[in-house]
Every structure is written in structure tokens, then in C-alpha cells.
Amino acid sequence: MIVLGGSSRQSLIALRGSLDKSLNGLSAADAAAISNDLFTALLALDGSVGLRRALTDPSRDASSKGALITDLFGKSIGAKALALLADAVALRWSAPSQFADAIEQLAVEAEASSANIDEKLESVANEIFDFSRLLIENPELRQALNTAADTEAHKTDLLNSIFAGKYSVYTVRLLTQALRGLRGRNIERTINAYSHAVTARRNRVNAHIRTSIALSDAQKTKLGSALTKQIGQPVHLNIEIDPSVLGGLSIRFADEVIDGTIVNRLAEASRALAG
């Protein structure tokens, strides 16, 4: 699990918003391309401490760091991933390593978004969990994927021989990226980090709705369309009938809460009177 604190956590939240905008209206293939580009950049970041420091140095202005991003990656990755990296270097990070951690998280979430566009995100989450369980149950497989005595290409071939066709293409791509970028971790810890990133994206595109009465199909469609427009990709509604809200809707997804219930408005009025 990637744990970010302080300014890094707030910067990651901002980057998720940038990712939402980048994904707006894209096909699953285009979203997967963003993911692959971010993973490509991550390999370069992991390979150079000096580069990570240069891109997170608070004494350097955002424009010069953005220019460095363009010089390094302008010819090797797409415009949308390049723009996301430029947004990232303009933000503040608690440590250079956490900048790289955030790019990894964004790369996994972009692939998860690709699956979501294809209505396969739930399957990916389940398959990542299944793979983590298989690693625990099969020490030979775990050792084969962790060993430094074998090549990345051979381990990738092994992975594909077992899971291609069994898992979705989105899951297989994530597992392949995990082998490319263990980042000093073993395969178990890497898959655990990916699992949390997939869950973060699933939380972002699954909105929990609390309402005092059942919504009509037309209301569900209208609400789903409005949230999809805000997030930039399909949003799935989990609706809870809760008489205690008295009226209106409470909507929660990821780090955001939109509370328009009567209970909340009364509470706000009470606080205003007390103040």
C-alpha cells in the first residue's frame, strides 16, 4: 500500500482530478495508453534519484520543471500523460520518492479506468485479489516471480502462460507492469500496492447515494449522467434508502461528499445560529 502524508496526499488528490479530466470521453484503449505512458515515465524516475529531486525541488519554478518533463518524455509518451506529469511537478511533494509513488498510483488508476470504461473494473479488482491469494498459496510461483536469477522477459512469459485468457487483459497488463517495476519490493508487496490503487479508482467511480425514498429510473439516469460528466468516465450508483435523511440526497464518492439532505441543512442552520 502506498502511504502518502502531508502535502503529498493533497497533491495526489489534485492529480486524481487531473486524471479525471484527461479520461473524459476516452475509449478504454486510450485510457490504457495513458497508463502505459505513466509506467514508462515511472521507470525513468525510479532509475534516477537526481531526476526525482530535480522534479520535486521546491526552489525551482513549475515552468522549468515542466520544460524538463517535456525534454525527457516529449518524444516517448503521449500528450495526455505528458500533461499529467507537468501537473504533478507543479505540485508540492513531501519527498522525491513520494512523487514517484504518486505516479505509480496514477498509472494503476489509469489502467483501472480503462477497465471501468469497458465495464470490467469489478472483475479486475477480483482478479488482483485472486492473484494475491495464489501467491500466498503457491510458494513456487512466488519464488519464480521474485527471483533475481531469471529475466523479466521469462517471468512475463510465465505470467502470460498461466493467466492470459484466465484474467482480463486489464489485469494481465497490470501484472506485467508489476514485474517490470517491483521498485525494490517483492511481488507480494507490489501487488498489494496495485490492489489499493485499483480500489481507490473503484471508490472514485462508485457513488454511494443516501436518499429517503426510492429514485425513479429517470432520476437514476439523470444523476448517473451528472456524476459521469463530473468524473469524466462511467460512474456506478449504489443507492441506500435511509428515512433518517428526511429529504434530498447525500452523495459520496472517493474524497468528495455532496450532502443536500434536509438533515444536513438543518445542522448547518443550527451551527450558524450557535455561532
pLDDT at 204: 81
Q: What is the structure's pLDDT at 260?
A: 56
* The pLDDT value given to residue 205: 80
Backbone φ/ψ region at 91: left (φ over 0), alpha (ψ -120 to 50), beta: beta
Q: Nearest 10 degrees: CA dihedral of 192, 197, 201, 207?
A: 60
In 10 A of CB 258, how many CB atoms? 14
Query: In the prediction, which pLDDT does 237 show?
Result: 83
206, 253 Cβ separation under 8 angstroms? yes
The pLDDT assigned to 26 comes to 92
State CA 16 to chain mean position distance. 7
Let me know: does 180 contact 167? Beta carbons within 8 Å.
no
Check residue 124 and give its pLDDT: 96
Task: Confirm if 83 and 70 have CB atoms less than 8 A apart.
Answer: no
What are the boundaries of each domain within the chain? 6-203, 207-274
Q: Quick one: pLDDT at residue 151?
A: 92
In 3D space, the residue among 13, 27, 31 whose CA is nearest the CA of residue 80 turns out to be: 31
* Residue recorded with cell 497533491: 11
Residue 159 buriedness (CB in 10 A; 0-12 / 13-18 / 19+): buried
User: What does the pLDDT read at residue 2?
Assistant: 61
> For residue 261, what pLDDT is reported?
59
Which cell goes with 14? 489534485
Q: What is the pLDDT along the chain (275 residues), one digit of tens a residue?
A: 566 767 899 999 999 989 989 998 899 999 999 999 999 999 999 999 999 999 999 999 999 999 999 999 999 999 999 999 999 999 999 999 999 999 999 999 999 999 999 999 999 999 999 999 999 999 999 999 999 899 999 999 999 999 999 999 999 999 999 999 899 899 999 999 999 999 888 888 888 888 888 888 888 888 888 888 877 778 888 888 888 776 777 787 766 777 655 545 545 544 544 55
Sign of CA dihedral 43, 5, 235, 189: positive
